Amino acid sequence: MKKHKINIITLGCSKNLVDSEQLATQLKGGNVEVEFDSNDSNARSIVINTCGFIKDSKEESIETILSYAQARSLGKIDNLYVIGCLAERYKKDLQKEIPEVDQYFGVNDLQKIVKSLDVNYKEELLGERSISTPKHFAYLKISEGCDRTCSFCAIPLIRGKHQSVPMDLLVKQAKNLAEQGVKELILIAQDLVSYGLDLYKENKLAELLKQLAQIEKIGWIRLHYTYPAGFPDEVIELMANEEKICSYIDIPLQHINDKVLKLMRRGHNRKTTMKLISSLRERIPNISIRTTLLVGHPGEGQEEFEELKEFVKEVQFDRLGVFTYSEEEGTYGAKNLTDDVSEEIKAERSDEIMALQQEISLKLNQNKVGNEYKVLIDRIEGEFYIGRSEFDSPEVDNEILIPINGSKLPLGEFYQVKVESAQDYDLFGYVIQ
Ligand code: SF4
């Protein structure tokens, strides 16, 4: 007989999602029924996995806690637990401000959380994973924390120092995911390119990728959250030669102006950044580059911003996202820099960059009309199958829409698709095999 049911609400990034999944794996191991982000759940116990990265995400986390705190005080639920980055960062304040929550836990408290939910923690379950994503793709978190000191970032304050997950455990998890039907593995971390430097005293990302590529049922391996400084050359070599590794890279660059990059304490400059981009494009000709830029950082005047715009026009990124600077307490930026760019100008600059990128994305997509791509179909939406090529990551990138027209294609499978038309962020096509 199932013990009881718990609904895990996950906010924030894919790394938080993996934490929620690892908690679910332990709970299911203890005969607890688990739901993920269910809006119409009748679960009497709720766990909210919060985000504490920047102002907007903190506000979303607090709103979510408050809505369940009300349900708790009205007796609609019996237990309410809050975990994750916001709880790690502001536990004492939250305990005072929102006492309706039964318990708050930090980011390294998996065993404590499991125990407080009346389940025995099982070390051996770390090699397994109960996934909340569609069954054909999953995230693999290869390390936690970060040793870098970017001026604007609170993550090292929340998640601590860089810690690689042992390679044998990652390979075991990946095999378990493949047995569950996962075809696409998305590698995530705070700083993917530092994998192994702590645990093995040398970079082991290439070796990990080789081992993951040997798992037969895995078709695609995708790299997210790489860092432009210290990017291992052997990884570029492997990406160029190992078919399973998607010709796709997510590499947050944040800026291109040397003065701003220095103030951001990023450890890379215009010259090294341009060199890395051209090296990626020369050695992996069809690579799709996703980046994230930060506008409105202290010291970013109009001249520096103009340089950033020129950079976006020149490089023509395949995928691009923009954040505005948010002064985060405890960071180098909050302690040493003045948040001198107004929120209005930050928003204007973000809009300007995204307007530029929309034009670029449309042009790049139009160049794909007539081409054929291997596509993984994720879901059905209205009259369309929604899929992605190796150049697109779930939830953040472009999608390919394929009219259903009465066909019954199994989801979560690869198909050969010909592109018929393009929009700024979507392609339209049909299955040819
Ligand atoms: S690399 Fe920089 S931005 Fe990324 S998690 Fe580390 S400190 Fe934060």
- E strand or H helix at 305, and its extent? helix 302-315
Taking alpha carbons only, the member of 387, 394, 208, 389 closest to residue 286 is 389
- Mean pLDDT along residues 343-348: 98
| Ligand 1 atom nearest residue 266's Cα | 2
Distance 141 CA to ligand 1 centre (A): 15
* pLDDT value of residue 198: 98
For the chain, which residues make up each domain, given as ranges? 3-125, 137-366, 372-431
* pLDDT value of residue 41: 80
Domain covering 137-366: architecture? Alpha-Beta Horseshoe (3.80)
Ligand 1: residue whose CA is nearest its atom 8 = 153
* DSSP percent split of the chain into helix, strand, coil, nearest 5: 35, 25, 40
| Ligand 1 atom nearest residue 156's Cα | 7
Taking alpha carbons only, the member of 102, 163, 150, 125 closest to residue 332 is 150
| Ligand 1 atom nearest residue 146's Cα | 6
* pLDDT value of residue 9: 97
Ligand 1: residue whose CA is nearest its atom 5 = 190
Count Cα atoms within 13 angstroms, Cβ side, for 182: 25
Whether 40 shows a pLDDT value over 80: the answer reads no
Distance 155 CA to ligand 1 centre (A): 7
Dihedral of CA 427/430/432/433: which sign? positive
CATH class, range 3-125: alpha beta
Q: What is the mean pLDDT of the chain?
A: 96
Pocket probe for ligand 1: among 146, 158, 194, 265, the residue whose CB has the most ligand atoms within 8 Å is 146
Domain covering 372-431: architecture? Beta Barrel (2.40)
Q: Convert the pLDDT of each residue in 9-27 to its tens digit.
A: 999 999 999 999 999 999 9
Whether 311 shows a pLDDT value over 60: the answer reads yes
Q: Could you tell me what percent of the chain has a pLDDT over 90?
A: 96
- E strand or H helix at 164, and its extent? strand 163-164
C-alpha 121/C-alpha 114 separation (Å) is 6
Q: Convert the pLDDT of each residue in 42-87 to its tens digit.
A: 899 999 999 998 889 999 999 999 999 999 999 999 999 999 999 9
Q: Convert the pLDDT of each residue in 157-169 to its tens digit.
A: 999 999 999 999 9
Distance 190 CA to ligand 1 centre (A): 6
C-alpha 214/C-alpha 14 separation (Å) is 24
Whether 241 shows a pLDDT value over 60: the answer reads yes
Pocket of ligand 1 (CB under 6 A): 146, 148, 150, 153, 155-156, 190-191, 227
The pTM for the full model equals: 0.96
* pLDDT value of residue 345: 98
DSSP 126-144: GG-----S-TTEEEEE-EE
Distance 252 CA to ligand 1 centre (A): 9
Distance 145 CA to ligand 1 centre (A): 9
Ligand 1: residue whose CA is nearest its atom 4 = 190
- Mean pLDDT along residues 209-228: 98
Whether 430 shows a pLDDT value over 90: the answer reads yes
C-alpha 183/C-alpha 136 separation (Å) is 5
Residues 6+ away with beta carbon under 8 Å from 106: 83, 87, 88, 91
* pLDDT value of residue 128: 94
- Mean pLDDT along residues 335-345: 97
Distance 154 CA to ligand 1 centre (A): 8
The answer to whether domain 3-125 and domain 372-431 are alike in fold is no
Confidence class of residue 2 from pLDDT cuts 50, 70 and 90?
low
C-alpha 419/C-alpha 401 separation (Å) is 9
| Ligand 1 atom nearest residue 153's Cα | 8
Whether 274 shows a pLDDT value over 60: the answer reads yes
Whether 194 shows a pLDDT value over 80: the answer reads yes
Ligand 1: residue whose CA is nearest its atom 2 = 150
In which residue are the tokens 């911003």 written?
A: 305
Own/partner pairs for 382-390, CB < 8 Å, 24+ apart?
A: 385/409, 385/411, 387/415, 387/417, 389/417, 390/220, 390/222, 390/246, 390/247, 390/248, 390/288
Confidence class of residue 4 from pLDDT cuts 50, 70 and 90?
confident
Whether 129 shows a pLDDT value over 60: the answer reads yes
Residues 6+ away with beta carbon under 8 Å from 130: 21, 24, 25, 28, 34
Whether 3 shows a pLDDT value over 70: the answer reads no
Distance 179 CA to ligand 1 centre (A): 33
In which residue are the tokens 């019954």 written?
A: 408
C-alpha 260/C-alpha 263 separation (Å) is 5
Confidence class of residue 403 from pLDDT cuts 50, 70 and 90?
very high
* pLDDT value of residue 42: 86
Least confident span in 31-40, 238-247, 286-295, 395-404: 31-40
Q: Could you tell me what percent of the chain has a pLDDT over 70?
A: 99
* pLDDT value of residue 433: 63
